[in-house]
Amino acid sequence: MKVNASALRVGNIIEHDHRLLQVMGTEISKPGKGGAYATHTLRDVRTGSKDVIRFRSQEGVAKVRLDDYESQFLFSDGEMYTFMDTTSYEQIELHADAVGYPKVFLQDGMTVQLQKYDEEVLAVTLPDTVIMEVVECEPVVKGQTASSSYKPGHLENGERIMIPPHIDAGTRVVLKTEDGSYVERAKD
């Protein structure tokens, strides 16, 4: 489907020069002389290489339509991650690079969305938030609670995050899966 280059948003995937590119950043400029243009930071979905491409704002680009499939994460074996399609029960193995950063938040049995293009899995989308336990953190220093300071903490999966001073070891917290940032204390 053709769309104007100025209509592209972060996360969209386009086909350009026989490559699938994901929009990582976008900037639209209108110089004093001449027509407007859109500058996009793009990442090749298959190789991971980044590129900056400038389009005229009214230029048409081919936006790729991805098919979403609900899948369940089963297990990881070294660098390979195994998912099961919840409708056909077919197992799909993906390399760690295809899963990306959110792989640190995968939990056994977690339901995720696999985005496919011509039966090739391009991306794995986790739920927006995940609940994990803080296993280790520094003690609270008296007087630090008045300001909005954070302290380092370690999660059950080994990840290091910044948490508020009132969170202690053994507390379950809600985290954003896109960047691993603290949201709130879990309500369970």
| Averages of pLDDT over each 10 residues, the chain, 188 residues | 84 87 87 86 85 88 88 91 92 85 86 87 86 87 65 90 88 89 88
Count of positions (residues) in the chain: 188
Q: Tokens representing 175?
A: 């985290």
CATH 2.40.50.140 applies to domain 129-185: yes
Alpha-carbon distance 127 to 141, whole Å? 34
Domain ranges of the chain: 2-63, 67-125, 129-185
Sequential DSSP letters for 78-95: TTEEEEEETTT--EEEEE
Is the Cβ–Cβ distance between 7 and 26 less than 8 Å? no
Q: pTM here?
A: 0.70
67-125 and 2-63 share a CATH fold: no
* Domain 2-63 class, CATH top level: mainly beta
User: How many CA within 13 A on the CB side of residue 111?
Assistant: 5
Torsion sign, CA atoms 176, 180, 186, 188: positive
Name the CATH topology of 67-125: OB fold (Dihydrolipoamide Acetyltransferase, E2P) (2.40.50)
